[in-house]
Amino acid sequence: MKTLLVAINSQYVHSNLAVLYLKAACSEVPGEVKVLEFSINESLKSVYSAIIREKPDVVAFSCYIWNIEYVIKLSEDIKKANQNIIIIAGGPEVSFDNGGLLCSKDFVDYIIAGEGEHKLPQLLKSIQKGIKPIVDEINKLKSFSVVDGLETLKSPYQFIEKNSLKNKIAYVESSRGCPFRCSYCMSSITDGVRFFPLEKVFDAIKRLTKSGTRIIKFVDRTFNSKEERALEIWNHIRQYENADIVFHFEIDPALLTEKMLDCLEKMPPGLVQLEAGIQSVHQKTLSAVNRPRPVEKAIKNIEKIVSFKNIHTHVDLIAGLPYESYDLFRQSFNRVYNLSAHHFQLGFLKLLRGSELRNSADFHGIKYRSYPPYEIISNKYITAEELLILKDIAECLELFYNSGRFHSTLKAIINSCIKGDSNTGLPDSFTLFEKLALDMREKGYLERPVKAFNLYEIFFMFIKDRVRDIITLPIETIKECLKFDYLRSMKNLTLPAFLIKKESSKKTRQNMLKKYRDELEQVLPRFKKHSLESIWHQIYIDEFSLPAETGYPQKAVIAFDFGDISPVTGLAGAYYL
């Protein structure tokens, strides 16, 4: 019997850990068990063709909100091609509501709810023997359950070969479950946290560091729920500081202890990324979703982490939560924006199958899409139109903030704004992005791809036309900030035309390098290993007039080294001469 375990990932760069766990669990199932991974960006026809050509007896799909509609079409086609192929569906999207969208699909033979490492091998053994499960067994398969004793599970990492995850993200889990019961999350239906033995976690990390990946993400819901364990893992990964690998952890910032903060402060730059969910700064909202967290402590700890300057920090908000109106969300946005984290994700509430909030949606007047990803449309507290504005703001955050391309310019503009209401001044950062989103929408930039090169002039024209009268910075200083950001972010000698004060030829640049050679040798870190002649083509020197927010003197000669990239921000080194 030949069984295919099929993962349809949301992007090419993603890998799927679930199907590898299942393959390991099926090691004693007679016949061949093979993993196939695709992405939803591949054509349905090509994926269908690849599966049929394998001549499988059983095809098992791992189902999520991003692929369920794709899986439905694919499953139906496979069944039409060969009605003898048995189709099994598992994963979060079919673990609730009697299989969700698959509950009435007769081309799916079996649905497995919850964690499948025990259920799938049992089912496959029955199929192999020609035994059809009785009704009680089928109902048990469809009843949500988890695996007790994670130490008994066979390692999925044994199947990851050297360099097999090059240009992909690798995933590892040190625990399952969550200490919290947030009502918008599927973890709200399970109790407590189950941990894998540390020796298994360390073995997984060792294997993944040889896989060719540059990012290893821990999929633990709240990685720092147990102080001693988190510290052991963080201290363990320090040995990989020269392996060109980043470790990503999702944490609860309010749970960070002094020992944890001390450990993080000592981390080598760029080794660790932290994702910290704030979701809202309003206690009434947090309590309504069973997340009554100490917001002030969380914010204080994130401020400390950002101040360390060695860890890429990612913060989250969720729009559409109970009791949070548009104006209250503005307050959450401003508090989180002021943290100056490297990445600020503005997400939108999704009413996931199995979540408590989905079951109580009517109480808050929540209207949401009936198809995946079940995203909110409106509720009692925020209108559909207001959420659309927040959607545009989220896109602008991605383009202008999370890209890191306007770091100094944004800081300088917000700090120089005339305070007042939205008509007489710029009261806060939210209003700036609100105005920017409106401008980008009116000009059609949010409806088509925009090259990064062009964003600088787009942003300059927005400042010049929309908010020039309510900021105190001279227009030329704004251009200087944009030029500074462009060089650090784009690492490109070809400046946009509006930023060029005077043409810079190859000879002019070489003369500047000769003029400042002594200073360059003193301040550029790469001079310790490279001669000027070997790296001069990656260095740009110019005179700037910058505001204090950039951290440089008002009149400064700055050298940019495009080969010296910060492992934390991804920006090129900029050195005052």
Domain map (residue ranges) of the chain: 2-141, 173-382, 493-576
Burial of 264 (0-12, 13-18, 19+ CB in 10 A): buried
Runs of H (alpha helix) within 295-383: 295-308, 326-337, 356-359
Q: What's residue 535's pLDDT?
A: 86
Contact 115, 18 (CB under 8 A): no
Q: If residue 508 lies in a helix (H) or strand (E), which one and from where to where? A: helix 506-515
Provide the residue-wise pLDDT of the chain in tens; the chain has 577 residues. Answer: 999 999 999 999 999 999 999 999 999 999 999 999 999 999 999 999 999 999 999 999 999 999 999 999 999 999 999 999 999 999 999 999 989 999 889 999 999 999 999 999 999 999 999 999 999 999 999 999 999 999 999 999 999 999 999 999 999 999 999 999 999 998 777 888 999 999 999 999 999 999 999 999 999 999 999 999 999 999 999 999 999 999 999 999 999 999 999 999 999 999 999 999 999 999 999 999 999 889 999 999 999 999 999 999 999 999 999 999 999 999 999 999 999 999 999 999 999 999 999 999 999 999 999 999 999 999 999 999 999 999 999 999 999 999 999 999 999 999 888 665 555 557 789 999 999 999 999 999 999 999 999 999 999 999 999 988 888 889 999 999 999 999 999 998 899 999 987 766 778 888 888 888 888 888 998 888 888 788 888 999 999 999 988 888 889 999 999 999 999 999 999 999 9
What single letter denotes the amino acid at residue 194? R
What single letter denotes the amino acid at residue 577? L
Contact 181, 228 (CB under 8 A): no
Would you state the structure tokens that stand for residue 31, as one six-digit string?
């016949």
Would you state the structure tokens that stand for residue 539, as one six-digit string?
């260095």
What single letter denotes the amino acid at residue 386? E
- Orientation angle between helical segments 258-265 and 227-237, nearest 10 degrees: 10
- How many CB atoms sit inside 10 A of residue 288's CB? 20
Alpha carbon distance 536, 560 (integer Å): 11
Q: What's residue 504's pLDDT?
A: 67
User: Phi then psi for 487, rounded to 5 degrees?
Assistant: -65, -40
Contact 202, 232 (CB under 8 A): no
Alpha carbon distance 311, 376 (integer Å): 33
Alpha carbon distance 37, 367 (integer Å): 34
Alpha carbon distance 292, 57 (integer Å): 49
DSSP H helix total and E strand total for the chain: 20, 18
Q: Please list the residues that pair with 170 across neighbouring strands.
A: 216
Q: If residue 47 lies in a helix (H) or strand (E), which one and from where to where? A: helix 44-53
Contact 327, 272 (CB under 8 A): no
Q: Compute and round to an integer the Cα radius of gyration of the chain.
A: 27
Alpha carbon distance 43, 60 (integer Å): 19
Q: Please list the residues that pair with 112 across neighbouring strands.
A: 90
Rounded alpha-carbon distances, angstroms, from residue 37 to 21, 50, 348, 511: 14, 11, 28, 54
Q: What's residue 404's pLDDT?
A: 96
Q: What's residue 576's pLDDT?
A: 93
- How many CB atoms sit inside 10 A of residue 464's CB? 12
CATH architecture of 2-141: 3-Layer(aba) Sandwich (3.40)
Alpha carbon distance 433, 425 (integer Å): 14
What single letter denotes the amino acid at residue 351? L
Residue whose entry in the numeric block shows the structure tokens 């909100």:
65
CATH 3.80.30.20 matches 173-382 = yes
**Three-class secondary structure of residue 312 per DSSP:** strand
Task: Select from 513, 486, 508, 509 the least CA-distant residue to 499.
Answer: 486
Alpha carbon distance 142, 136 (integer Å): 10
Alpha carbon distance 415, 549 (integer Å): 8
Q: Is 280 left (phi over 0), alpha (psi -120 to 50) or beta?
A: beta
Strands ordered across the beta sheet of 555-565: 539-545, 555-565, 572-576
